Amino acid sequence: DALADPNSNLTLDLGFQQAGQLGDTVWFDYNGDGVQDAGEPGLANVRITLVDNLGNTYETWTDATGTYTFTNLPLDRTYTTEVDVTTLPPGTVLTTPGSFTTTLTYTYMEDWTHDYGVRGLGEVGDRVWCDPNGDGIQDPLEDGLPGVVVTLTSGSGLEVTTTTGADGLYLFPNLLLDDTYTVTVSAVPGYHPTTPGSQQAYLTFEQPVDYTLDFGLDSD
């Protein structure tokens, strides 16, 4: 071509391929309902594997917030994520399926629904009672106090609240093992404590439950 620039090169074409991504969260499902509720923290250092329909495999780990992401995934493929249960915290079970499958296409390039819930096997609790002699000891005829607010916090960031039943009993189930739990009884108008207002328990495989956290209250 007589008009072509001898210093130009119009053959250097660049192609771009769109890519997909998927993932989301592994979290501590305190109430075991399979739904991530407010205050239920993510779980770090859980391994997630990804396999596509061509047999390609990938892996990643959850971060400090329990979040994980697979990026730069070719589209028009089917992907399955799976939790490596050997990397879950000790003494836990899943409250959701252990794997999820989705197909990424040019019209569905992202999927953030691969969430995994985990609950523990430990329990903490016992009783808030009326201690009229103020000695901090539950005597046979001393009744439980119903409707008292009790709060549990953990070293891993969990905070949940319950109230005592008609018999003064309370229970925090589904707790992770290898963690420290602090239970605090709220102030009750007209009463003062006869035992410490906060007590701790440490749950392990050897001791997965602790039903010794009792709170005495005497009327003013």
Q: What does each of the 220 residues of the chain score in pLDDT, given as a tens digit? A: 455 556 665 555 554 557 999 999 999 999 899 999 988 989 999 999 999 999 999 999 999 999 999 999 999 999 999 999 999 988 899 999 999 999 999 999 999 999 999 999 999 999 999 999 999 999 998 999 999 999 999 987 889 999 999 999 999 999 988 899 999 999 999 999 999 999 999 999 889 999 999 999 999 8
Measure the CA angle with vertex 204, ends 201 and 205; round to 5°: 150
- Quote the pLDDT of residue 6: 62
- Quote the pLDDT of residue 3: 53
Closest CA to 86 of 113, 53, 59: 59
Closest CA to 167 of 203, 138, 201: 138
- Quote the pLDDT of residue 89: 86
Q: In this structure, what token pair is assigned to residue 106?
A: 């040019």
- Quote the pLDDT of residue 43: 93
- Quote the pLDDT of residue 166: 96
Q: What is the pTM of this model?
A: 0.75
* Ramachandran bin of 190, using left for φ above 0, alpha for ψ from -120 to 50, beta for the remaining angles: left
- Quote the pLDDT of residue 11: 58
Report the SS3 class of residue 160. strand
Is residue 164 exposed (0-12), middle (13-18) or buried (19+ Cβ within 10 Å)? buried
